[in-house]
Amino acid sequence: MTRKIIMAGNWKMYKTVDEATELVEQLKEALADVTGREILVCPPFTALSAVAQALEGSNIQLGAQNLYPAEEGAYTGEISPRMLVDAGCRYVILGHSERRQYFGEIDPFINHKLQVALAHGLRPILCVGETLEQRGEGRQKTVVSMQVYRGLQGIGAEAMKDVAIAYEPIWAIGTGQTATPGQANEMHWAIRNNVEGLFGSEVAQETSIMYGGSVKPDNVDELMAQPDVDGVLVGGASLSAESFLRIVKFQS
């Protein structure tokens, strides 16, 4: 069976509204004829509505970088799934290592977010990954398996068709280091086994597992050639039209 290939750009805390719309104007023209993969950009919250408008009629989907798991309420500085849907979002990134590291997010909270995202028709991308220390101790599979199991608690097999998982080794995010294609595929295979343990073989084979961590034009082809790598979640290299276009148009 053919799994959905997802090529996503996480713009993090970059791009003003004008800069964001300028970038997507370049992307949508150059990617108009690309098929066989889901293309996704995740701008900062301030640019979501403008980017949604700019993307109308294109083959590029809109995603958000986070959400708070409530429809509304006294949560100063947060954004709800209802607001994201209203702004035009189809996807949302959850559990990114920067959210875990800087904002103290833990697996049960991330799981709550994932369930709420699904309830509002959003497609979550659940991020998992180990630190350099954990990998050095040989615990990478144990750590990531726990994040997968806890992150997907209470999710039904049917709902998994709208869930993607992104393996992002923390030691490779923004560092210039990248897991070797073999290391990436080994972890993707382990994650697929985790999904199989939770939901069965059919769901596991249908789940898109993406790689993130210093993805660049010069390593994307080899990464995407791996049998269990079903896309990429790109940080810095998605901020330039030239580099993101080359990544989306990978050749494997």
Q: Positive or negative, the Cα torsion across 115, 120, 121, 125?
A: negative
Specify the length of the chain in residues. Answer: 252
pLDDT at 1: 56
DSSP assigned state of 42? E
Q: What DSSP line would sit under 92-154, residue for residue?
A: EEES-HHHHHHH---HHHHHHHHHHHHHTT-EEEEEE---HHHHHTT-HHHHHHHHHHHHTTT
- Cα 16 to Cα 1, 11, 51, 156, 239: the distances in Å are 40, 11, 11, 38, 12
**pLDDT averaged over the chain?**
96
- Kindly give the confidence (pLDDT) of every residue in the chain, 252 residues in length, as a single tens digit, with 9 standing for 90 and above: 579 999 999 999 999 999 999 999 999 999 999 999 999 999 999 999 999 999 999 999 999 999 999 999 999 999 999 999 999 999 999 999 999 999 999 999 999 999 999 999 999 999 999 998 999 999 999 999 999 999 999 999 999 999 999 999 998 877 777 789 999 999 999 999 999 999 999 999 999 999 998 899 999 999 999 999 999 999 999 999 999 999 999 997
pLDDT at 43: 98
Provide the annotated active-site residues: 96, 168
pLDDT digits 0-9 by tens, 96-116: 999 999 999 999 999 999 999
- Identify the structural domains of the chain with CATH numbers, from first to last: 6-248 (3.20.20.70)
> What's the pTM value of the predicted model, to 2 decimals?
0.96
pLDDT at 67: 98
